[in-house]
Copies of this chain bind each other. A is one copy, B any other.
Amino acid sequence: MTPPTVLLILSFLIPLTCSLSPAGEPGRLEEYRTVARRLLEAALRDGEAYAMLQELTARAPQRLSGSAGADSAVIATKRMMESRGFDRVRVEPVMVPRWVRGPVEKAEILIPGRRPISLAVCALGGSVATPEKGITAEVVEVKSFDELHALGTGARGKIIFFNRPMDPSKLNTFEAYGGAVDQRVRGAVESAEAGGVAALVRSVTLSSDDVPHTGAMGYKEGSPQVPAAAVSVRGANMLSDFLKKGARVRLRIRLSCATLPDVPSSNVMGEIRGCERPEEVIVIGGHLDSWDKGAGAHDDGAGCIQAIDVVSLIRRLNLMPKRTIRAVMFMNEENGLRGGKAYAAAPERSTEKHIAMIESDRGAFAPRGLTVQADSLSLEKVRLWRSLFEGLNAGRIEKGGSGADVSAMVGKGVAGFGLDVENHRYFDYHHSANDTIDKVNPRELEMGVVVLALLCYILAQEGIG
């Protein structure tokens, strides 16, 4: 094997001009291998992603759409790109929903003859408030909507407690999440339609602690709107134990959240212009908004910062992408997807041709590959590059989703890509106070940058489809 130092020296001798030499596939693969090694060494040695993520999560730890923190995040990331000399740093406007948590979120278990027992809860995003004095009602536990429906009139006037855990036996935690999150999203609607007065949902997480996990929920036009809260896993288990023992359990819930009128906000973007086909664009993005309980370090501060560092790294190494590589911080993924939709609908899009939409929104863990949301031919083309990604321990290239923010563009036929990472820990932090910078490992964060930068660069040179 050629020693790394020799390869490093060689890499600086290879002329990086705009046009790649018309080498055959194996020759180009070798060029990309050299690029991969340069990206790897530069990112692991001098990568700025962790420092930028520290800055973002310190300056704007709470970035829910429409909040002051979200404004700070727009300003901070715009400056990060400007100060690094990106081309065409700008914002694109988008109106976003504004939901505020308010100061009160409390729940107590009331059992005759005992003192009230506090439960760790938080309002679900989008929930209406309770009356100021709270809602006090009996609790009924269900594990599914079918169980709820089977209660018939037994649900009337009750607080419906949805307590189906994520299935721990799934290897892929996103699959386990998908199997439980319906309770959070639709719990309030189903509760109201069954005659319930509020929904209390077991936190959608695999960790067993006292931290409630928030997330989006919705209402249905024409149905009553009842408040909805998440309860920590330990709280859910305690409540369930009381119910199992046959105690007459009532719950008092107080939430002070509210939905205010939409407010203006923006997506943020900057790029390195393609030297040959600047109007052809590869987007690498994450979402700038995050839930307000933690600092959104993994979800999705990391994805935004990785996007910035991808473009920054490609610039620093004087790589010359033929096509434009654009870092986009989408606003409002968590409770509206307005940023992704606005990007797709912006007038400027009609003057551009998008080659690929790439998103990193699965946490800043060690990357293990890519998910590809495109036709089979495109997938096969990407798989020709597998050995390059294998060299970065990221050789899993599978058909799969890309990301919520990029879905509007992918829906128009643009090839979508998602960064696939080790995800055992992700839902321990997701949408909760646990999602803070100390849970991010700088090297794992940077390895995401390396994999994404390599993908962006190859797509800029080769196109897809």
Contacts and interface: CB of A to CB of B under 8 A. Distances in A.
B366 A393 contact: no
A139 interface: no
Q: Sort chain A's interface into a size bin.
A: 20 to 34
Interface in A168-217: 168-171, 173, 206
A248 interface: no
Interface string A387-429: 0000011001000000000000000000000000010110010
B41 A169 contact: yes
A53 to B, nearest CB: 16
Contact of A424 (B40, B168, B392, B447): B447
A370 to B, nearest CB: 14
A392 to B, nearest CB: 7
A108 interface: no
Given A366-B422, A393-B368, A424-B366, A45 B444 contact: no
A286 B190 CA distance: 51
Interface string A148-169: 0000000000000000000011
A44 B444 contact: no
A106 interface: no
A19 interface: no
A290 to B, nearest CB: 22
* Residue from A171, A173, A206, A428 with most neighbouring chain B CB atoms (10 Å): A171
A392 B44 contact: no
A52 to B, nearest CB: 17
A170 B45 CA distance: 9
Contact of A171 (B173, B392, B425, B441): B392
A171 B393 CA distance: 9
A143 interface: no
* Residue from A168, A173, A368, A424 with most neighbouring chain B CB atoms (10 Å): A424
A44 B443 contact: no
Interface of A: 40-42, 44-45, 168-171, 173, 206, 366, 368, 392-393, 396, 422, 424-425, 428, 441, 443-444, 447
Closest 8 CB pairs of A and B: A424-B443, A41-B169, A45-B169, A366-B422, A44-B169, A424-B444, A44-B168, A425-B441
